[in-house]
Amino acid sequence: MQKPFFKKRTTSFQRKVYEEVKKIPSGQTRTYKEIADLILHPYAFRAVGSALNKNTDSEVPCHRVVRSDGKIGGYRGGSGEKERILRKEGAIR
Partner DNA sequence: ATAATGACGTGAT
Partner DNA sequence: AATCACGCCATTA
Residues engaged in binding DNA (CB under 7 A) = 11-14, 31-33, 41, 43-55, 62-63, 65, 67-69, 73-76
Q: What residues contact 45, with CB distance under 8 A and at least 6 apart?
A: 31, 32, 33, 35, 36, 68
Q: Judged by CB, which is closer to DNA: 54, or 84?
A: 54
Report, in Å, the least distance between residue 12 CB and DNA.
Answer: 7
Closer of 43 and 90 to DNA (Cβ): 43
Pairing between β-strand 30-31 and β-strand 65-66 as defined by DSSP bridges: parallel
Active site residue 61: no
**Nearest alpha carbon to residue 32 among 68, 83, 56:** 68
Which of 51, 62, 66, 91 is labelled catalytic? 62
Q: Are 68 and 31 in contact (CB under 8 A)?
A: yes
Q: Given the complex with DNA, which of 11 and 90 has the nearer CB atom? A: 11
**Active site positions, annotated:** 62
